[in-house]
Amino acid sequence: MDNASPVACIGECMVELSERPDGSLSRSFGGDTLNTALYLARLGVRTDYVTALGDDALSDEMLSAWAAEEIGIGLVARVPGRLPGLYMIRTDPSGERRFLYWRDSAPVRHLFQLPQIGAIERALCGATLIYLSGITLSLFDAVSRDRLFAVLARARDVGVKVAFDTNFRPRGWPDRAVARDVYARAFGHADLVFASVDDHALLHEVTDADPATVLDHVRACAVGEIVVKYATPVCRVVADGADLEVTALPVSGVVDTTAAGDSFAAAYLAARLCGERPGVAARAGHALAGVVVRHRGAIIPRAAMPTRLSARSSP
């Protein structure tokens, strides 16, 4: 793909520590929008990652790793004396994972207050598409979110598309009422929304959420393209006059669902940016996610990347 302007993914990447059965730790990096940015880059989409890091060795390692994946790092602000956020994964004997976070002072939380933000905002207005998530929104205080929404409005005024993924994590918000208000604003600034039944149930504290309810909730905000992900491996896509359900092919040997949604979003966006129809894009999303869940961790080996995700002959 040779898109004239890059996709810009806004968010946070943290240092990830995974505890092994013997108590030792392995280290890597993780973040929802970073995962999507990486898979977009692997699919041939010019992609910039927009965040803030420190000037430490770990931040340097992150940037080197992103550059090696051909992710643009020119919109990463560096903050002297600061460190990136960190989280640890502990897995109990039943396989249930628990996350511990140290991220309150991560530099990305002040991204919209940094001296570099003016140049970053101008670059966002020159992107093809801006991608962000509910986790992105949870990073910022009210003033910073206002500035972010203002940038999204200016970008859309000059033709930039905005994609919003509802990834909702309750621990990132002071309370759900605040989150619901912010999500409603995000829907109003988005051209494409990836929503899930699970996110909707958590955000609105309901047990009977269904795809139709989620769709109606998002559609009420005049969003033109909506992908609703079910609790099962099915999604409903409403876009370009189409309204269809797309079921994923059966996947055997699932070992880790980390980044399934992030990779789905990457393949869907890559297909749509290539001009593919919504159903084709959804099948591409399912196909990449189906490969990702057969590997441990968010990022699969390059050799495991599918060589073909979609076909123009599909509806």
Catalogue the active-site residues: 262
Distance between CA atoms of 112 and 143, rounded to whole angstroms? Answer: 9
CA 211 vs. chain centroid, Å, equals 20
Of 100, 76, 83, 73, nearest to 19 by C-alpha is 100
For the beta sheet containing 234-239, the strands, ordered from the edge strand earlier in sequence to the opposite edge, are 76-79, 47-54, 7-10, 129-133, 161-165, 192-196, 225-229, 234-239, 242-247
Cα dihedral value 41, 87, 74, 165, nearest 10: 50
**DSSP letter string over 236-299?**
EEEETTEEEEEEPPP-------TTHHHHHHHHHHHHHHTT--HHHHHHHHHHHHHHHTTSSSSS
CB-count burial class (<10 Å; 0-12, 13-18, 19+) for 161 = buried
Which sign does the torsion angle of CA 162, 166, 171, 173 carry? positive
